[in-house]
Amino acid sequence: MAQLEEVTVDLYKHLVSERALTGETMLLNMGPQHPSTHGVLRLLLELDGEVVVNCIPDVGFLHTGIEKNMEAKTYQKAEVMTDRLDYMNTMGNNLAYVMAVEKLVDLDVPPRAQALRVILVELQRIASHLVWLGTSGLDLAAMSMFLYCFREREQILDIFELVSGQRMMTTYIRPGGVWRDVPVEFEKAVRDFIKIFPKRIDEYERLLTKNPLFIDRMVDIGYLSKETALSYGVTGPTLRASGVDWDLRKTRPYMGYEQYDFDVPVLTEGDTYARYLVRIEELRQTLRIVEQALNKLPMGPVRSDNRKYVPPPRSEIGLSMEALIHHFKLWTEGFLAPNASVYSAVESPRGELGVLLEGDGGPKPRRVHMRTPSFDNLAVLPELVKGHLVADLVAILASIDIVLGDIDR
């Protein structure tokens, strides 16, 4: 049996305090296999007893080369990669990428497709927040929360399966619209969810919000000041819990968000409990958006009729020579995008999800870069955990809601 090499403090001495070198504090390796690092995140902790002195996040264990891979694919085919990015927010990733493509080639989206996109992305936001709520409950050992949240998430995934045939890797939102129109059962399924969900939120809140142990674990833990948050580029609910009213759906509306009436919850306390409250309130507001969008869901086409970029409907292919040619060209060569660079961003459940897309005149992007919220939010973690206990670290990590697929790309 090969002798394992001892990992010594010397390897990390530029990262930890001097006390670690004398052995006064302990270095603890948390992850990449650890139940509460939400994936393959490795945290190198310097502990004084159980108090965290230093926390060094080590990312990259889930690096899959998504961005690079997308450069080798046509614009439509590269979209499949975005699903794998932040696997809790597949619809949102599709939307962010597709919006960038549409901006690059100047495509219009019909209103029905816009409304459908809003409904699905907001449902995805609920699903993502449910996973966050469940797992952060689980991290505090409130284990039933997890299963209650997944019960509702299941309903949303069923809706996704209804519209796209897939539960998670949907690729439903396509350049110029959506894949195809939703089936008739869609409206009833969403209405059922809208009806049942407010009661379920109350149920979650009854279990957690005023639970003394929960408050004890959450309040005044992991304080993030407004200035720190802004300087680290933190976005999303984590930023809004620190008192910055910044939600791209309000500040830079896209996909017709300006027509919906919803509030952006903002709290100023900046601790773990505030982040929890913001997300819980977002669940309610998101549901309002879904309801409004569903109520005024317009009829009409769900795909742009710009045949240079959007494949024609199946029915046309048998009748029209142009349609057949377009279909063939779009699925073999792809469409050509101008030599330009665009950036478009959406508000993902975790914050600003931006896509930088650079065309080179050909059918494949020259460069795709994702500005993923989890990555920037994770960067602020060491600031939050200093001086807290290991148990708090787990709560804080859960409260900034990272997805490792989003970080490592």
Partner 1 sequence: MTDWTIWVEWVVKGFILCMILLTGFAYLTLYERRALARIQVRVGPNRAGPQGLLQPIADAVKLIFKEELTPGKVYKVVFLLAPVLTVVPSLVLAAVIPLGDKFMLFGREITLYVADLNVGVLYLMSIASIAVYGIVLAGWSSNNKYAMLGGIRSSAQMISYELSLGLCFVIAIILGNSMNLNEIVDAQRDMWFAVIQPAGALVFMVVTLAEVNRAPFDMPEAEQELTAGYHAEYSGMKFALFFMAEYQKMIVICMIAATLFFGGYREFWFLKDTFFSVDSVWTIGSWQFKAWFLGPIYMLLKVIVLLFFMIWIRATWPRIRYDRLMAFGWKVLLPLCLVLAFITAVGILLFDLLGNPMLIWGVPVLSMLCILVVVAFIYRDLRRKSHGRV
Contacts of partner 1 in 248-267 (CB under 8 A): none
Nearer to partner 1, 226 or 371 (CB): 226
- Is residue 277 within the footprint of partner 1 (CB under 8 A)? yes
Single out the segment in contact with partner 1 by CB under 8 A; choices: 87-95, 140-148, 250-258, 308-316: 140-148
Single out the residue of 120, 121, 394, 403 in contact with partner 1 (rule: CB under 8 A).
Answer: 394
Contacts of partner 1 in 33-62 (CB under 8 A): 34-36, 50
| Cα–Cα distance for residue pair 39/37, rounded to 1 Å | 6
Question: Which residue intervals of 306-380 are DSSP H helices?
Answer: 314-317, 321-332, 373-379
Nearer to partner 1, 336 or 391 (CB): 391
- Is residue 132 within the footprint of partner 1 (CB under 8 A)? no
Nearer to partner 1, 57 or 311 (CB): 57
CB of 44 to partner 1, least distance (A): 12
| Cα–Cα distance for residue pair 162/156, rounded to 1 Å | 10
Q: Is 372 exposed, middle or buried (0-12, 13-18, 19+ CB in 10 A)?
A: buried
| Cα–Cα distance for residue pair 65/189, rounded to 1 Å | 36
User: How many angstroms separate the Cα of 293 from the Cα of each of 154, 298, 351?
Assistant: 21, 9, 22
Single out the segment in contact with partner 1 by CB under 8 A; choices: 87-95, 106-114, 134-142, 320-328: 134-142
- Is residue 226 within the footprint of partner 1 (CB under 8 A)? no
Q: Report residue 337 CA to chain centroid gap.
A: 27
**Letter string b/e over residues 225-235, b meaning 16 or more CB atoms within 10 A of that residue's CB:** eeeebeebbbb
Nearer to partner 1, 186 or 214 (CB): 214
Sign of the dihedral defined by the CA atoms of residues 310, 296, 117, 262, in that order? positive
Nearer to partner 1, 197 or 260 (CB): 197
Single out the segment in contact with partner 1 by CB under 8 A; choices: 86-94, 202-210, 258-266, 399-407: 202-210
Nearest Cα to Cα of residue 383 among 135, 121, 56, 91: 56
- Is residue 216 within the footprint of partner 1 (CB under 8 A)? yes
3-class DSSP state of 395: helix
- Is residue 196 within the footprint of partner 1 (CB under 8 A)? no
Nearest Cα to Cα of residue 281 among 165, 161, 201: 201
Q: Classify the phi-psi angles of 350: left when phi > 0, otherwise alpha if psi is within -120 to 50, otherwise beta.
A: alpha
CB of 139 to partner 1, least distance (A): 5
- Is residue 172 within the footprint of partner 1 (CB under 8 A)? no
Single out the segment in contact with partner 1 by CB under 8 A; choices: 17-25, 102-110, 122-130, 210-218: 210-218
| Cα–Cα distance for residue pair 339/336, rounded to 1 Å | 9
- Is residue 269 within the footprint of partner 1 (CB under 8 A)? yes
Contact footprint for partner 1 (CB under 8 A): 4, 26, 28, 34-36, 50, 137-144, 147-148, 151, 207-217, 219-220, 269, 273, 277, 389-394
